Amino acid sequence: MTIRDARAVRVLVATGALTGLLAGCGIRATQVPTDFGPAPSMVPCELSASDLSTQPTPSGMPVEVFLLCSGALVRVNRSVQVAEGTEESQRRIAVAQGLLDALADDPSEVEDEAGYSTAVPPGLTVTGPTLGDPEDTLRLSTAPDSLPKYALAQIVCTFADSAAAGDNGSVVLGSTSAESLRRYECTQETESSPGEGNPPSEEINGS
């Protein structure tokens, strides 16, 4: 037997021994590497610093709106346009309309990939109080209770946490086609479970 033959025998013996050990441990030997792919990198409802850096820089008045993610309400940054010199009463309505438009817009690509969505339908408009209404009233083109539960929760919590309403965590809403008004509250339960019922509210005297 030559030196080369002896080396070949030793390699074969070592390979066979390794195969036997693997088989004894319940592991099937393989000649090709197994690749299970990279671990998921996207955490639902969280945007990384690199994700945020790809978002367009908003212009106008910075605001926050509530989108849906994993069945809960989640704050995201947006902006609304308000003309310089707008009177306070009209400024509040302009902010409210900007918030509605932002809620109805589709989430950005990175937000969509992270699981964000919205239930607010496009085309909603808002006006201010009519004669006899509380001064902080907002009247929607669609009756609040006719909106999907998720959409109403988004609108109530967004309005109640903005310059469009007072600073007491509530908002007075009605429709342009009915006199009745309700004061809605954005509670922790509304934020965590927006689909389980309309936000807490009480009827108030309207026009």
pLDDT in tens, 74-133: 999 999 998 888 888 899 999 999 999 999 999 999 999 999 999 999 999 999 999 999
Rounded CA separation 157/190 (Å): 8
Token pair 């310089």 is found at 84
CA dihedral 106, 70, 197, 180 (to 10 degrees): -20
pLDDT value for 24: 47
Q: What percentage of residues in the chain have a pLDDT greater than 90?
A: 57
User: Are 182 and 172 contacting, i.e. CB atoms less than 8 angstroms apart?
Assistant: yes
Q: How far apart are CA 99 and CA 4, in angstroms?
A: 81
Q: What is the pLDDT of residue 99?
A: 97
Residue 1 has pLDDT above 70, yes or no: no
Mean pLDDT computed over 143-149: 95
Q: How confident is the model at residue 27 (pLDDT cuts 50, 70, 90)?
A: very low
pLDDT of residue 59: 64
Asked whether residue 165 carries a pLDDT value surpassing 80, the answer given is yes
Which whole-number Å values give the CA distances from 123 to 32, 35, 60, 66, 103, in the listed order? 57, 49, 21, 18, 11
pLDDT band at 205 (very low <50, low <70, confident <90, very high): confident
Q: Tens of pLDDT along 40-55? A: 334 578 875 444 444 5
DSSP type of residue 39: P
DSSP H or E segment with residue 140: strand 137-140
pLDDT at position 169 is: 83
What pLDDT is stored for residue 19 in this prediction? Answer: 46
The reported pTM is 0.74
Query: Is the confidence at residue 145, as pLDDT, over 60?
Result: yes
- What's the rounded Cα separation, in Å, for the pair 92 and 71? 30
The one-letter amino acid at 156: V
Q: Which amino acid is at 126?
A: V
Find the DSSP H helices in 119-195.
149-160, 188-192
CA 195, 72, 61, 159 torsion-angle sign: positive
Residues 60 and 201: their CA atoms lie apart, in Å, by 32
Place of tokens 């109403």: 152
